[in-house]
Amino acid sequence: MKINKANEKKRTESKLQVQTYLDRLKYAIESGTVKINFQKSRQIDNMRDKKYTNRYTISQLFPNEDEVEVLKKELAYLTVEEYIETVKDIRFPNKSEMRVFGKKYLGEDVYIKIRVELISIADASGNSSILVMSFHFSERDFKKSNFPYGKS
């Protein structure tokens, strides 16, 4: 497992693991038992070109639409071919791993990083949550080699 400068351990899950993850994600979204937490504004955005921020990307791709509804729709239709990698944030080792995907919108690459937190049945609400950490135009163009399962 590689450790990058952002304190994350990266790995590639098997195609079956990614498909199972996506099937569960889609089921949770469609069942209405999942809450979307979108990091519209992030501290790191203060140091980057506004084009590469979550807020700017969502406003450009989905103007006048409810961002939570847009994210539910977009996350429900992610594919194995759009999967890039799985990362473990070593700063928060008790949190679930994050999955990274790449998708093209209006001819531009969009970087998507999500963390799904499954709440135990003992939790009163019974709801799970999805943290959408990143949904922004990619600062670098994606290459075929970024996608282990066939994105061209």
Q: Are 120 and 145 in contact (CB under 8 A)?
A: no
Q: Which residues contact 9 (CB under 8 A, 6 or more apart)?
A: 1, 2, 3, 87, 88, 90
Domain locations in the chain as residue ranges: 2-143
pLDDT band for position 148 (50/70/90)?
very high
- Average pLDDT, integer, range 113-139: 76
What pTM was estimated for this model as a whole? 0.86
CATH entry, 2-143, from 3.30.2310.40, 3.30.750.210, 3.30.1370.10, 3.90.1150.10: 3.30.2310.40
For tokens 């700063």, the residue is: 91
CA atoms within 13 A on the CB side of 29: 22
CA atoms within 13 A on the CB side of 111: 17
For the stretch 6-29, pLDDT in tens is 556 899 999 999 999 999 889 888
